[in-house]
Amino acid sequence: MANIFRLIAQRSMQNTSQGAMLSAWTVRLCVLGIALSLPIMGLSYFVLRGFQENISNQVRGFGGDLYISSYQDEIENSDNAIALSELNAILEKVPLAYYNAYAQKPVVLSGKTEVQGALAQGILLNFRWDFLKNYWKAGKTIQNKTETVISLDIAKNLGLRIGDTLNVFLVNADKQHQLKLLVVGMYQSGFSEFDRKAFFVDMSHLQKFNRWKSEADTLVGAAQVFLKNAKDLNAVKETLQEENLYRFQIQSLAELYPAVFSWLSLIDQNVYLLLFLMLVVSVVNVSSTLLLLSFENRPRLAILATLGLYPLWRLMYAQGLYIVGKGFLYGNILLGLAVFLQTYFHVIKLPSEFYFMDYVPLSPSWQAWLGINVLLFVFCAIALIAPLRFAMRFSPAKVLAEKVM
């Protein structure tokens, strides 16, 4: 019996496309609507996850899972610096992958063409370059205190290349000092807030200028802590804060970059709103199409009813599922093509100064792909029931009599 209904539904579709122009165009528009709704929903979700993963990884790479610093805003002397032995002591029980100790100092840079303000990142020779090497553009890392690594943004603004000399001016209220550093490496992360101003120098320069002196230990300004498992973040932070309540300031990524994470949260809300709207459009589209087809095919349905072929709703339901199935077939093909082109060719570009990357990122997964298909199909299948209940309320004898007259 199921095969009979499916066969009649397919024949009805063929006859509709060849006969009544109104029904034919309605069906085509319905198929097109589903075929567009599915890739829009899929791409919206994949883009959302892509943005969240890429930007979170970028921010994590620059700031670590946790940022440990002194409570003092300006670190200018040894009393406000942090000893490496202190850091090792408080982090020895933390499930960390590694940490980078460093210091920061606002400076003025002078190149061949321009002068600009920047933020010097003082690092030790054991600094882990793992993250930045993913965005490495030229040259090598710092090997001694006469070298520096800058971003392409800084290099372009100052007219510098690998092998050129960068003039760095460190200024305090009571003194100033000039450094001449050799540019040995360049990076470009796409995280414009960092690329525009951050460059790397040996920490000994900042230690000397800030009068950080200790014969027994190495003094640093702060530490970026990278945990083995990011899920442990809240528990680790709470533990460190309880044990070091007055000595250190311990901040998470969301506290360091609140604007970035607020923006990601806003994107999240917009995407879910778009998914809901696409579901509503698909439901209305399918319901109205099936309702129109039901009225269009009433004479045919009346004849089938007189032949004893019941229940009639199964015939129209099969026809509705046939339309939905065609839309899903074309929609998945479009979605797969769009994901392939954007993933491997980065067809859609972005201005990195606003979006922290130069192309729209995607993070597709089979679970999400299947979930979107199931969600949309279930809603469309349920949406077919209401118009059928309404359209099947007719008298076969009356319909045939009107057709004969």
The answer to the question of residue 370 being in a domain is yes
| Number of separate domains in the chain | 2
pLDDT in the model for residue 94: 87
21, two tokens: 């122009």
pLDDT in the model for residue 320: 81
Instruction: Please report where in the chains the tokens 């408080």 appear, as a residue.
Output: 90
- Boundary of a domain, candidates 193, 219, 245: 245
Same domain, 95 and 212: yes
pLDDT in the model for residue 8: 52
What kind and span of H or E run contains 16? helix 2-18
What's the gap between Cα 204 and its chain centre? 38
For 10, 192, 219, 342, the CA distances from 345, given in Å and listed in that order, are: 39, 23, 46, 5
C-alpha closest to that of 55 among 260, 224, 234, 206: 260
pLDDT in the model for residue 76: 47
Cα distance between residue 394 and residue 337, in whole Å: 45
pLDDT in the model for residue 16: 47
Cα distance between residue 203 and residue 64, in whole Å: 19
DSSP label at 122? Answer: E
Cα distance between residue 90 and residue 88, in whole Å: 6
Cα distance between residue 398 and residue 93, in whole Å: 84
Q: pLDDT tens, 130-150?
A: 888 888 999 999 999 999 999
Beta pairing, strands 115-123 & 198-202: parallel
pLDDT in the model for residue 354: 74
Cα distance between residue 249 and residue 241, in whole Å: 8
pLDDT-flagged residues of the chain (< 70): 1-23, 72-79, 173, 245, 295, 297-313, 353, 390-405
- Boundary of a domain, candidates 199, 220, 245: 245
Q: pLDDT tens, 320-354?
A: 888 899 999 999 999 999 999 999 999 999 887 67
pLDDT in the model for residue 116: 94
Same domain, 7 and 78: no
Same domain, 223 and 304: no
Q: Which amino acid is at 233?
A: L
- Boundary of a domain, candidates 219, 245, 271: 245
Same domain, 267 and 220: no
Residues in the chain: 405
Same domain, 118 and 195: yes
Cα distance between residue 164 and residue 139, in whole Å: 12
Range of the domain at 96: 72-245
Same domain, 80 and 215: yes
pLDDT in the model for residue 17: 44
Same domain, 269 and 343: yes
Cα distance between residue 6 and residue 316, in whole Å: 10
